[in-house]
Structure 1
Amino acid sequence: MGDRWRSYVLGGACAAFVVIPTVGPLLGKGEQTRRYDTVITPPDYAFVVWAPIFAGSALATGNQLLPGNRARPVSRRTGWPLAGAFATNALWSLAAQGDRFALTPFLLPVATAFAAVAHARQQRLPAPAGWAAATPASTGLLLGWTALASAVNVAAGAKLAGARESVAASVAGVLGVAGAVTAGVAASRRGRLPLALASGWGLLTTALYPRRPRGVRIAAAAGAAAIAAAARR
């Protein structure tokens, strides 16, 4: 019964995670992120990364929902934290669409923490086979992107609260997140490449964005290089 309820909650949370940010713009209530641009926000085209995140998450969730897979170790160990990550990301989207952007710096780090728990738990499990491999892959993508996005949201929240945007502080934030992701990639046995790809993509596109300060672009390039080196080990 516990496996069944967990799968129900996971399925509902994943559905909200995918549908809310997809349907919102069609109804004229898209996320108002452009209003709170920062010096470390990646360019618009970088956000295409959500397509593989959504697709991978839906595939992994669908696999866990199958009756024969509900009791598998990967489902039991990752189901609840992934449900938390999906639900909190959905709340983030609702806040961004409702112009309650002041809430996003608190929501996204929580979503990242849930994804980090799911990712960490998979490191101690046997290598997944077949469609079960979608779970570590999609979790890595989600964690890699939201870790970087959390720093951007914190910077946007500070700016919204009236704080003066500091390039030096932004550079420190970029390097801090890149260092944490690099350590996570180096320590991972499962999902390390998707984790590296998601964060590396965000950092690389920021490094190539001419509208960002030179110091931020250099820090982003250095972070992307460090993550790539860790992924190749």
Structure 2
Amino acid sequence: MTVLSPGPTRTDLVRNVVVALLAVAQVLVAAVAGDTVGTVAREYPSPLLAAGWAFAAWVPIYVGFVGYAVFQALPAQRARQAHRTTGWWMAASAVFNMGWVLSFGAGWLPLAQLMLIGLLVSITLVFGRYCRMPAESVVERVVARGPVALYAGWVCMATPMGTAATGVWIGLPGTGALAAIAAVVVLLAVTATVSWAVLSGTAVVPFAIAVMWALVGTALNDPPEAVVVAGAIALVVVLAATARRISTAGFPVRAAWG
């Protein structure tokens, strides 16, 4: 039986407006920051640093966030329980994103890492809650579930990248055998985590695409051979987990797209 939510409340309207404003604000912050994040990242290279072109993933992420912001503010969407349980966390993710961009671009890597962890927690929490609630329409899959899954997958990989850069910032080696071994261990651990998320989640296609995009970007950025091999293994594992999740799901479309 479907449980109908009461009509929009003042809290709903405030949440709608806050999410919409923050969606625009984070795009503006990213535009003003330009390539400062990439410039700083290249100053603290590690075997987990993805190639510059891989960071183009932020373009569909930001576009998707704006689409989500418009969607959740529509009159028919404002009072839905799905938005009530995720909207403020989406707002938090935008705040953490802006904090990360500004602090990383300024070279304050420890603070940026804290912002990135906050972003990871908030966006994966939204992703997890969406996994427990089926989408009501194709439009919702395209403008809400898909962008959130893509965002979550990318941040799951961006967090260890940021951690590696922060490690170099504090004086840990970014090259050599020790750095390569650490990178392989981190890659395998992250692969296990994201594969679990794929096997138990929904909208796993965009989530897995973001993860694999980051893995390819890392493997093609001239890391040590051991990291390339670990990345190739990770690609196969994530792809296999995605295929298994969809093929064994009772509702394959929901498993794939939310």
1:227 to 235, 238, 244: 238
Gaps of 5+ in 1: none
Q: Specify the code of the residue in structure 2 equivalent to 1:215.
A: A
1:120 to 124, 128, 140: 128
The alpha-carbon deviation at position 98 of structure 1 amounts to: 1.9
Structure 2 counterpart SS, 1:216: helix
Q: 1:10 and 2:23 equivalent?
A: no
Tell me how many residue pairs correspond in the alignment: 228
The alpha-carbon deviation at position 176 of structure 1 amounts to: 1.0
The alpha-carbon deviation at position 17 of structure 1 amounts to: 2.1
Distance between the aligned counterparts of 1:10 and 1:42, measured in 2?
30
The alpha-carbon deviation at position 224 of structure 1 amounts to: 1.4
Structure 2 counterpart SS, 1:67: coil
Distance between the aligned counterparts of 1:203 and 1:79, measured in 2?
29
Percent sequence identity is 27
Gaps of 5+ in 2: 1-9, 245-258
Q: 1:179 and 2:192 equivalent?
A: yes
Structure 2 counterpart SS, 1:69: coil
The alpha-carbon deviation at position 139 of structure 1 amounts to: 0.7
Distance between the aligned counterparts of 1:220 and 1:62, measured in 2?
36
| Aligned ranges 1:38-53 → 2 under 5 Å | 38-53=46-61
* 2:216/2:231 contact within 8 Å kept: yes
2:106 to 98, 105, 115: 98
Distance between the aligned counterparts of 2:25 and 2:42, measured in 1?
23
Structure 2 counterpart SS, 1:95: helix
| Aligned ranges 1:59-70 → 2 under 5 Å | 59-70=67-78
The alpha-carbon deviation at position 68 of structure 1 amounts to: 2.4
* 1:77/1:122 contact within 8 Å kept: no
The normalised TM-score by structure 2 is 0.84
The alpha-carbon deviation at position 102 of structure 1 amounts to: 2.8
Instruction: Give per-residue Cα distances to partners, 1:73-121, cap 9 Å, x unaligned.
Output: 2211221111111110111001122222232222112101101110111
Q: CA RMSD in A?
A: 1.5
Q: Specify the code of the residue in structure 1 equivalent to 2:79.
A: A
| Aligned ranges 1:114-193 → 2 under 5 Å | 114-133=122-141, 134-165=143-174, 166-189=179-202, 191-193=203-205
Q: Specify the code of the residue in structure 2 equivalent to 1:6.
A: R
